[in-house]
Structures are given as C-alpha cells and as structure tokens.
Amino acid sequence: MTASIPIPAASKRALITGITGQDGSYLAELLLSKGYQVHGLIRRASTFNTGRIDHLYQDPHDPDAKLFLHYGDLTDSSRLVTLIEKIHPDEVYHLAAQSHVRVSFDEPEFTGNTTGVGTTRLLEAIRMVGVDCRFYQASSSEMFGATPPPQNEDTPFYPRSPYGAAKVYGYWIARNYREGHGLYAVNGILFNHESPRRGETFVTRKIARAAARIALGLDKDVYLGNLDAVRDWGYAPEYVEGMWRMLQADEPTDYVLATGTAYTVRDFAQFCFDHVNLDWQQYVKFDESYLRPTEVDALIGDATKAESLLAWKPRTLALQLSHVMVDAELNRARKA
Ligand code: NAP
Ligand code: GDD
C-alpha cells in the first residue's frame, strides 16, 4: 500500500478501479507494458483479494516502481476525492462493480449503490478536483436485456436485472458528464468476455472448471441453470486492448465490443466436455436455483463502429476460448 509514499512523476498515469478483477488485471498488464504508471483501487478484505495481480507486484519504495495500489471503495466518496487529488490521473478506467447478474437479484440495493451510484461518486470526484483526464465507463451488453439482437450503439436498452438497470444508470451518468461538463468520457458497451481469470461463478469458468475436474476424477458433475441462453463470448485480453483504444481516440464516443458470434450455454458445455473427450450430457445437471427471475435470452453484438474507428477486431471465438479455459483448469487442478 502507498499511504505515505509520494507518487513519482510519470509520462502517463492511469487509475484502474476494479484492478483485482478479471479485466482490471489484464488492463494493468497492458498499461504497464505501454509504460504507464498504474494506480489501482483495491478493497480491504479479510482474505487476500489480489491473486490476479500478485504477479505484477512491485515494491512501491523502488524508484522505478510503476504499479501502486490504494485502499478505497466505490461507496466512499471522500476517499475517491482524496485519491483523484493525489494521483492526478490522465486516464481513469472505471471497472469496479458488483458484476454478477444473478447476485444482483439478491442484492439489488447494494448493486445500485456500487455499480450505479459508485460511478457518479467517481465522476464527481474528478469534477470536484478539476483534473483533466479521460474516463472509461465499463458499460455492458446486459443493458440491452430484452431487446432482440443484433445489438449495437443505437439499440434501445431494456435491462432485465438490477445489475442491468444499474449499468444503464452508469451509462447515462457518464454521458451526462461528457455532454454537461465536457469530460472526455466513453462508454465501452462490452459483450461477455471470458478468460482463465474469470470469476468461478460465471458460467464459462464454472463449466470449464467442471469439465477439467471431472476429467481428472476430482468432481462427479456440475449443476447449471438455463442452458438455452445465447451469448456472444469473446476473450478478455482482447477486450481490454479495446478499452485502451477508446481512450486514445480524438473524440469521446461510445462503442460496442463483441465478436458477433452466438452460442448457447449448452454449446459452450459441449465444447468444454468434448475437449476432454467426455459427453457433457452425462455430467451437466439442472438446478433451478441458478435460474434468474428475468433472463436475458440472447446477446449478439455488432462491433462495426469499433472495427472501423478503432481498428479493433476480436480474434478468439468461443470454441478456441473454451479450449484455453479448460486447459488452464487442467493445469490448475494438476498443480493443486
Ligand atoms: P469482476 O472480475 O467481477 O471484477 C470486479 C471488480 O470490482 C473487482 O476488482 C472487485 O473487487 C471490484 N469491486 C466490486 N465492488 C467494489 C466496491 N464497492 N468498491 C471497489 N471495488 C469494488 O468483473 P470483470 O469481469 O473484470 O468486469 C469488469 C467491469 O466490466 C465490471 O464493471 C463489469 O460489470 C463490466 N463488464 C464485464 C463484462 C464481462 O463479460 N466480464 C461485460 C460487460 C461489462 P474485489 O476483487 O475486492 O471483489
Ligand atoms: N452464472 C451462471 N451460473 N450462469 C448460468 C448458470 C450457472 O450455473 N447456468 C446457466 N447460466 C446462464 C445464465 O442464466 C446466463 O443466461 C448465462 O448463463 C451467462 O451467465 P453469466 O456467465 O453469469 O454471465 P451474464 O451474461 O449473466 O453476465 C456477464 O456478462 C455481462 C455482459 O453481458 C457478467 O460478466 C456481467 O458483469 C456482464 O455485464
């Protein structure tokens, strides 16, 4: 932690909220590789929550250190003001959120407070301090909800979860600071993106992990909910590259990142189990507790705008992604 350590001068400083999450960890790697000084907001927890970024750790006393971590929380506005004042970032990547859709039905108020109003707290901190920075808002395809695919930047929102509703609020508040206060603020409307660093309760990681562990004789089966949901799954490291590109453009605007391909949860299960030569139907069981009160049936994105304005293109599609994830789980399980 860097409570009393003065921050050295640097060519470019970035603040990442949610640096301990899947995307935050890949983005930190990317920005460090580009020579940025990277500051991450982390929450105090009773157990370590920095597993995804431990390999990036640098001693903050080292004069060449480029990564600095700061305790803070999206519900603590005075802390956000203090940090913005101290760091004076050139770019802010706002990734922190209660990001689990199913959990948002259990904790709708908390999700609104962090995922929604947390965005306003951070934007207000930037406005109050008066720092001239660029702001990335982690918007989501979940905002499209019940609006049928294909979905792009002009598609109307119809959120189907407290999480989706909170993200719609975050989207509009970011646009409001762009249009009302002249902030360079961008909404990245990202479709599902996955990796071996995905949280274990999201469906791709859950399936990949189960397939690997069942193949190794460590587990017997896996319980899932709706297998019919259609998602557009991409690879997280490619999506964080898109986030960075959005903040390098001349003008701020909003972009969809997606692969444009569509698979069901059932397809993904088949890909994963096929990869370890097992028949998924023998191992995937149904548990209604994983169903959601309202489901998002189909998300399929159209990323034409990002492709033409940012020269961004996804390379890894669902089948290859499933193999990357299952192989990572096989390695993890063997090491453990
Ligand atoms: P993730 O792995 O769940 O990471 C969420 C991050 O937010 C973690 O670092 C978490 O800290 C932090 N966080 C949660 N509540 C916080 C609070 N109150 N104060 C400070 N930090 C808090 O999410 P992700 O998959 O990397 O996604 C990054 C962002 O993109 C999220 O906003 C998500 O909603 C959005 N998004 C994700 C996808 C996707 O497919 N992955 C698609 C569209 C949009 P802890 O580690 O301490 O829990
Ligand atoms: N998590 C989970 N667990 N989902 C399941 C399960 C299960 O056991 N069984 C079926 N599903 C279905 C869900 O009902 C959903 O339709 C689909 O699998 C994907 O679920 P998640 O992996 O939890 O992702 P998500 O699409 O709800 O939300 C993710 O993507 C959003 C972008 O569209 C999250 O990363 C959000 O933060 C993100 O904004």
For ligand 2, the distance from its centroid to the CA atom of residue 108, given in whole angstroms, is: 16
Q: Which of the residues 29, 142, 194, 329 is marked catalytic?
A: 142
For the question of residue 235 being annotated catalytic, the response is no
Say how far apart CA 90 and CA 13 lie, in whole Å: 5
For residue 59, count other CB atoms closer than 10 A to its CB. Answer: 9
pLDDT value, residue 11: 79
Looking at residue 325, its amino acid is M
Q: Which of the residues 36, 93, 136, 163 is marked catalytic?
A: 163
Greatest Cα-to-Cα distance within the chain, rounded to the nearest angstrom: 59
The phi and psi torsions of 259 (rounded to 5 degrees) equal -95, -20
Ligand 1 pocket test target in 95, 114, 296 with most atoms within 8 Å of CB: 95
Q: Is 187 a pocket residue for ligand 1 (Cβ < 6 Å)?
A: no
Q: Is 73 a pocket residue for ligand 1 (Cβ < 6 Å)?
A: yes
Say how far apart CA 71 and CA 165 lie, in whole Å: 27
- Per the DSSP assignment, residues forming a β-bridge with 41 are 17, 70
Say how far apart CA 200 and CA 55 lie, in whole Å: 20
Ligand (nearest to CA of 136):
1
Contact 318, 248 (CB under 8 A): no
Enumerate residue ranges in the chain where pLDDT < 50: 2-3
For the question of residue 142 being annotated catalytic, the response is yes
pLDDT value, residue 8: 65
Range list of H helices, 88-185: 101-106, 108-111, 118-129, 162-181
Say how far apart CA 279 and CA 212 lie, in whole Å: 13
For ligand 2, the distance from its centroid to the CA atom of residue 203, given in whole angstroms, is: 6
Say how far apart CA 307 and CA 156 lie, in whole Å: 21
> Kind and range of the H or E element at 82?
helix 77-87
- Per the DSSP assignment, residues forming a β-bridge with 193 are 234
Residue 8: exposure state from Cβ atoms within 10 A (0-12, 13-18, ≥19): middle
For the question of residue 290 being annotated catalytic, the response is no
Q: Quick one: which of 200, 206, 194 has its CA closest to 280?
A: 206
Say how far apart CA 279 and CA 281 lie, in whole Å: 6
Q: Which domains does the chain have, with CATH numbers?
A: 13-194+235-257 (3.40.50.720), 203-231+261-298+317-335 (3.90.25.10)
pLDDT value, residue 4: 55
Three-state SS at 72: coil
pLDDT value, residue 9: 64
Q: Give 126-150 pLDDT, tens digit per residue.
A: 999 999 999 999 999 999 999 999 9
- Per the DSSP assignment, residues forming a β-bridge with 189 are 139, 256
